[in-house]
Amino acid sequence: MAKELTYLEAIREAMVEEMRRDPKVFVLGEDVGPYGGAFGVTAGMAEEFGEARVIDTPISESAIVGTAIGASLRGYRPIAEMQFADFISCGFDQIVNQAATMRYRHGGRVSVPIVVRAPSGGNVGGGLYHSQNPEAWFIHRPGLKVVAPSTAWDAKGLLKAAIRDDDPVIYFEHKYLYRRAKGPVPDGDEIVEIGKAATRREGTDATVLTYGAMVLPALDAAERLSAEGVEVEVIDLRTLMPYDKAAIFASIEKTSRCLIVHEDVKTLGLGAELSAVIVEERFEHLDAPIRRVTYPDTHCPFSHVLEAANLPNADRITEALRQLAAY
């Protein structure tokens, strides 16, 4: 059975179900208690689970992540909320130098089963400090898993998988999708496996690799190209590290053309790594250069008009696919 939930409701349901299932799961972060979180994701959870399991913290991302790491070493499974992904940088040392390295430093005898929830992304007029997509910082670091769901179904299933995982998982939830993405969500215990991509649209003429909020404009662009006789396959990566190399290669071998779309900036974004891997390992299957449609290498303005001018959209993706198909 499945029911209709928003992306935000699916995230909440995943946490509630996991906290009911496992008393070692708890949530901590700024305003996550009675206030219910800046976006209302944890609304009602303090009333059900109490202040010992839904913990309001000081405004210190380093302390939030550090506390989560310490608790995980004592057998707990903390879910640490960053109020905005932008401020995850304040907890960067704890994530990349502590959580990411713990298992290696202890010869596999220690694990850090934490989830760091990071509300990310733009298109909400948030400006400099409330619109960033910092996923590439963490994709680069061995020892971390990174996920970015695009649907309500995956928002729930990937979060449940992340909570149960014995290694640290950075969970990027796109703010623009919170109340805009709505769809069927499974009742009960179904999870979405970390490391598996999803084919959102079958095609034979070009592949789009994307994730998060960019899946929708990619699908829009694919439908436009279909009317012109070009069938585009859209792959939703879902997991950014470890990404699903097998699914990517299978699609490239079928279509021979690849466009990578992400909201993160272009230079050294995930698209750069994917491009390199495809060229290194599947060059003989390519009939055209790999292309990227991304945010420009700049900061996010407060102006909605200027922000919209920077964001990748269906028009830009469509034009890039036309050029790719005609190459």
Active-site annotation, residues: 130
Residue of 210, 256, 54, 241 lying closest to 147 (CA atoms): 241
Which residues lie closer than 8 Å to 151 by C-beta, 6 or more apart? Answer: 7, 181, 183, 215, 236
Calpha distance 57→7 (Å, rounded) = 25
- Residue 78: beta bridge partners? 26
Which residues are CB-neighbours of 254 under 8 A, at least 6 positions away?
204, 207, 233
* CB atoms inside a 10 Å sphere around CB 67: 18
Helix (H, G, I), strand (E, B) or coil at 201: strand
Measure the CA–CA gap between 68 and 77, rounded to whole angstroms: 8
What is the dihedral sign for C-alpha 122, 124, 128, 130?
negative
Q: What is the C-alpha to C-alpha distance for residues 178 and 149, in angstroms, rounded to an integer?
A: 11
